[in-house]
Each structure stands twice: as C-alpha cells, then as structure tokens.
Amino acid sequence: MLSVCRLYISDLYHAEDVMSTGFVKVFKNLHRFENKGSFEGWVRRIMVTTAIDFIRQQKNIEFSTDEVEHFEGVQMPGLTEWSVEELQEVIDELPEGYRLVFTMHVIEDYSHKAIAETLSITEATSRSQLFKARRLLKTKLETLSASAHGQV
C-alpha cells in the first residue's frame, strides 16, 4: 500500500504517514467491508482517498479549466528503457491536477466519471487533464531519452 500512496505523494515520509492513516481507517472500518470484491481493492480505495485528502489539506489543487475540444491520441514512447524510479520521478514532476488524474485513470483504472466525483471536477476536465498529462509526460520522456543518448 506504500506504493499506492507513493503514486500520489512524492515525499516518501508523507506517503508513509498517509499509509499509516489509511490503515487506521481500514481497521476502524473493517466491519463495513461486505466481502463484495477483493479486500485488497477495498483497502486500495481507502489509501487512494486518504492520499487525495492529504493532498487537499496540503495544497489547493488547481485544475486548468481550458477545455480541450479535440483529444488527439498521444503516442507514448515505449516505457521499457526507464526504471520504475525514473518513471516515478517524471510523474512526480507533473502539475498536481495532471498527476492526480493520470494516476487515477492510467494506474488505478478509475473511470472519468469516478475521477470527476472523487475530485469534484467535471468529466470533461478529467479528460482534459489526462490528455495534457500524457502530452507533457511524452515530452519529458523524449527529453530524458535524448539526453540519455547524448542528443541534447
């Protein structure tokens, strides 16, 4: 569950605190688990919600409101040439709103509707944030790749 918290919170110590808080919530609410779906999935949702609550307390999350009319496909470069740590660093560099939506949609497999409800934004804003996150990640990964190959 630390890796789940770490996806949302770049500082390891804060991620550990959030994980501990999440586990307190899990133990306090064990009686609410209804054996529908996996226990791990239930715990994971609690960790995600706890991480988002922490981020809201720490920062005023801003979502760019300029809606993108047409989302062209962003072809992401192959990810096999980077380590998990390198990819996490690049994701950590994304603006908070981009990072939250990207993580929730791509990594946690939340729908845009669920993201919108969780973050109190519109589905269109969720789609826009995801598109912009992918576009920025692609640029950052291409720059990282070029510098690794001495092309900068």
pLDDT tens by residue, 46-97? 999 999 999 888 876 667 655 555 555 555 555 566 777 888 888 888 988 8
Taken in order of first residue, the domains within the chain and their CATH numbers are: 1-59 (no CATH), 66-152 (1.10.10.10)
| 115 within 8 A of 101, measured Cβ to Cβ | yes
Q: What is the pLDDT of residue 26?
A: 96
Give the residue carrying structure tokens 């109190």: 120
pLDDT category at 132 given cuts 50, 70, 90 is very high
49: Cβ–Cβ under 8 A, 6 or more apart, which residues? Answer: 118
pTM confidence score: 0.76
Give the residue carrying structure tokens 């470069």: 77
pLDDT category at 115 given cuts 50, 70, 90 is very high
Q: What is the pLDDT of residue 60?
A: 63
